[in-house]
Amino acid sequence: MRIAVIADVHGNALALEAVLARVRALAPDLVVNLGDLVSGPFDPAASADLQMELAAATLAGNHERQLLAGGTGPADAFARPRLSPAHLAWMAGLPPTLSLAGGEVFACHGSPAGGDLEYLLEDVSGGRPCLDTPAAVLPRLAGIEQAQVVLCGHTHTPRVAEAGGVLIVNPGSVGMPAYRGAQPVPHAMEAGAPHARFAVVERHPAGWSASLHAVAYDFEAAARQAAAAGRPDMAHAARTGRLPAA
């Protein structure tokens, strides 16, 4: 079985189109979308249309929850008035987690135990992410039942790791390669390159394997969208995969 995994599109339809072209060429058995679908200074409506048409196994991330609850953060505030009632109804019907492949694969946005805001693999206490220890990761896997693979997003950091015999895959972000977070301490998340990210997980006789992919697209066009939305920081991220100096 081959599963393509996308996450954190954040309204970047240009990046999503490039990823979907690559995904279609791979002909996966299933596409999984890990949430944070449209909130961002790019093209929320077009990205929502693409994701609805994709008919992927899709869950809601923290930005779906925040957007629907009236959150005033800049990404949600930009997206909300640009979405139709049909877009909002679709997001309102999405689950927070999914069990797939007969229970072998568990999909979430943040972590299985901690919800859509918890980082599953990253320790950001030093202001920048580093891979957390297996001892710290294991309690965050509570609730996955017999799953052998956990798919997570939220941190925009592509990773393949293992804890307690469970393969953990974060595909990285399709559309927003860098951002600043405030909790638990101020920190920066940077992919280091502007490419649109996705992952593929496959079941083989020897077990599950994973590959991470970085796709080139028109970075400058996405940067111009962010700049026009009044987000020069996200324009810089779209061009470089890094944040401007604070």
Which amino acid type is present at position 43? D
Query: Is pLDDT above 90 for 225?
Result: yes
Which CA distances in Å does 97 have to 8, 74, 111, 116, 176?
Answer: 15, 25, 9, 9, 22
Query: Is pLDDT above 80 for 141?
Result: yes
Of the pLDDT bands very low, low, confident and very high (cuts 50, 70, 90), residue 245 is confident
Mean pLDDT score across all residues of the chain: 97
Query: Is pLDDT above 80 for 246?
Result: no
Half-sphere exposure of 11 (CA within 13 A, CB side): 27
Count CB neighbours of 145 within 10 A: 9
Two tokens at 190? 């940077």
**Is the whole-model pTM more than 0.95?**
yes
pLDDT at 184: 87
Residues 101-114 pLDDT 10s: 999 999 999 999 99
Residues 19-69 pLDDT 10s: 999 999 999 999 999 999 999 999 999 999 999 999 899 999 999 999 999
List domains and CATH numbers for the chain: 2-240 (3.60.21.10)
Residues 160-185 pLDDT 10s: 999 999 999 999 999 999 999 988 89
